[in-house]
Chains A and B, each alone.
Chain A
Amino acid sequence: MVFLKLAIKSLKNRVFTTGLTVLSIALSVTLLLSVERAKRAAEEGFTQTISKTDLIVGARSGPLQLILYTVFNMGNATHNVSYESYEDIKKNPAIEWTIPYSLGDGHRGFRVVGTNEDFFKYYHYRGSQKIALAEGDVFKGLWDVVVGADVARKLNYKLGERIIVTHGVTKGEGVQNHDDKPFVVSGIMKPTGTPLDRGVYMSLQGMEALHIDWQSGAAPTPENAVPREQLNKDTLKVHTITAFFVGSKTRIDTLRLQREINNYKEEPLLAIIPGVTLSELWNGLSYVEGVLRMISWMVVVVGFMAMLIALTTTLNERRREMAILRSVGATSSQLVGLLVFESALLTLLGVISGAVLSLVLVAALKPWLETEFGLYLTGSGFTAREWVYMLVTLVGGTLIGLVPAMRAQRLALKDGLSVRL
């Protein structure tokens, strides 16, 4: 394959312009694939983070806000739900199970969730996956906590470790620590690949105990502080929770239940069907995605233009080369082939480096996406659609190569063997 060799050597000879051209194509392919990937990650993240929950109930706010702070660990609730309302609604015969959720405190950058043992029984993700413990047991005592897999790994926690909870902070280091009331790690969860891995779970009573001596959001003065030893799980009364998850007996019940909770007289509540809210969010996102994808294709076109310019400007210097090839027997269509081949090679290099770059980018951004957005990228490799994009780029780049190639053919026919430069 003499033309392969010629094309490679010729491109190598012009390594600087070749490099720039490949880079511009690579960057555009990276952008294209990254948009696609981000969309996929979001889609998977959104659909796999929670399942089998019919309703999420919280204080009345935006439906997206509710699902973001309960499921995705983003943002905070502005109001709480009183425990009486929760107990009252729980009695509804249409309800099969509930999981109370109490948020607001943190531990070294991870959020603390107050809940009960039903969390381990009924919380599902990725279809019918349930939370399982890798070590230890669920929280039984008031001062027990179960930590998510990421928490255990990052902070290197073992069973029996004593930990301090930070007040009012779900991210970063806090100012006010509940250091008078340490907790003990009683269990470590298996990884779920969801934001659950980044939580510390304790009983609702434990959460209540932390704040029992706090008054209107301020830490207790030493004389007001209630010592740890005086607190008891059975006598502590829970006052509020942040939200709760509901599983109803039938899906038809869900609709009625949603309406009843939304019209609840005692306090303003909001019940959402998580999948419905997510697919609304999803529709919004796909609009943004469409715009981003259009921009990426435009960048691909700009990349092609850069290649077109690079190939065309070198053409004049290469007229002599074309005449030599003609003299040793190359037909003018072989010259076209050579140039098209060069652009195909450039595009191929660009597509490959773009694909690799996008993988590197994903690997690099993965931890950030997980901590910031609770988006867990699962599944590697490329989807059929991504392969199609790469193929389209490849074909497009090769076709663009026809433009300078046809010009070269015209020049070669005009020049014959006598180029006077």
Chain B
Amino acid sequence: MFKVLLISVMVLAARDHGSHEHGAGRVSIGFDGRKGRIEMEIPAETLFGFEHEAKSKKDKQKKEEALKNLEEKITEMIVFDPALKCEVRKDIFEVSQSKNHADVEADFTVSCDKAVAESTVSFHFEKVFSRFKKVQVDFITDGVQKSLQVLKNGDSLELK
């Protein structure tokens, strides 16, 4: 009985992986003490509202604005404990365009005054890009490996 249960749980837990799903995103955050890195993988639709190649002036403008928004408002989406005084900087933004789909890969570097261990991080993706529905967040730092599915503004992860 328990095995059946476990298998159904596995199916439940595994169904969200790897697919390109609109409104969903994947964020990985790695930290070594005070220095960290954020890697985001987001379907372009969630950010721009479309996934075809931006050819028209209007689309290009939308795309530019969204990426600018992403860069400027990252600290509103991923909120570290203010006491840590973390600074987030854009590293690489990359839009990979296939025929009908586009994904945005956005990497940031983070540096804080104090180590993040034992603190709490909260997430507000929907506040900035309303098309976000769920974001899979993986967080690793020394001794902590955690994951969280962010479904609403304010979901948080305790780093201990």
Contacts and interface: CB of A to CB of B under 8 A. Distances in A.
**Do chains A and B directly touch (beta carbons under 8 Å) in the complex?**
yes
Given A127-B143, A273-B145, A255 B28 contact: yes
Contacts of A288: 5, 8-9
Contacts, number: 80
B140 A284 contact: no
Nearest to A255: B30
Given A252-B32, A254-B140, A255-B37, A276 B14 contact: no
A284 B146 CA distance: 14
A51 B32 contact: no
B145 A279 contact: yes
Given A273-B138, A288-B5, A252 B35 contact: yes
Contact of B10 (A51, A64, A273, A287): A64
Contacts of B36: 251-252
A273 B143 CA distance: 12
Contacts of A254: 30, 140
B72 interface: no
A251 B140 contact: yes
Chain A at the B interface: mostly helix, strand, loop or mixed? helix
B30 A276 contact: no
Interface string B6-35: 101110111001000000000010111001
A48 to B, nearest CB: 13
A28 B57 CA distance: 67
A127 B142 CA distance: 11
19 contacts: A62-B10, A250-B30, A251-B142, A252-B31, A254-B140, A255-B28, A255-B140, A273-B138, A275-B146, A276-B138, A277-B147, A278-B145, A279-B146, A281-B9, A281-B10, A283-B147, A284-B10, A288-B8, A372-B2
A279 B145 CA distance: 8
Contacts of A252: 30-32, 35-37
Nearest to B39: A255
A281 B16 CA distance: 12
With a 10 A CB-CB cut-off, give which of B9, B12, B14, B149 has the most chain A CB atoms: B9
B84 interface: no
A273 B31 CA distance: 14
Nearest to A368: B2
Contact of B141 (A251, A253, A277, A281): A251
Give the size range of B's interface with the partner: 20 to 34
Nearest to B41: A259
B28 A280 contact: no
Interface in A267-294: 273-281, 283-285, 287-288
Given A63-B17, A251-B32, A284-B9, 14 more contacts: A64-B10, A254-B30, A255-B39, A259-B39, A273-B138, A276-B139, A276-B146, A278-B145, A279-B145, A279-B147, A281-B9, A283-B147, A284-B12, A288-B5
B13 A284 contact: yes
A62 to B, nearest CB: 5
Contact of A251 (B5, B12, B31): B31
A119 interface: no
Interface string A125-154: 001000000000000000000000000000
A275 B37 contact: no
A253 B36 CA distance: 10
Interface string B122-154: 000000000000000011111111111100000
A157 interface: no
Contacts of B39: 255, 259
Contact of B13 (A251, A253, A283): A283
Given A251-B140, A288-B5, A280 B13 contact: yes
A273 B28 CA distance: 11
A276 B141 CA distance: 11
A273 B39 CA distance: 15
Given A252-B35, A275-B144, A281 B138 contact: no
Interface string A214-242: 00000000000000000000000000000
A51 B143 contact: yes
Interface string B28-54: 101110011101000000000000000
Interface in A164-219: none
Interface in B78-98: none
A285 B9 contact: yes
A36 interface: no
Q: Which of A54, A63, A252, A287 has the most chain B CB atoms inside 10 A of its CB? A: A252
A287 B12 contact: yes
Contacts of B10: 62, 64-65, 281, 284
A389 interface: no
Given A251-B32, A251-B140, A373 B2 contact: yes
Contacts of A251: 30-32, 36, 140-142
A283 B138 contact: no
Contacts of A52: 143
Contacts of B146: 275-276, 279
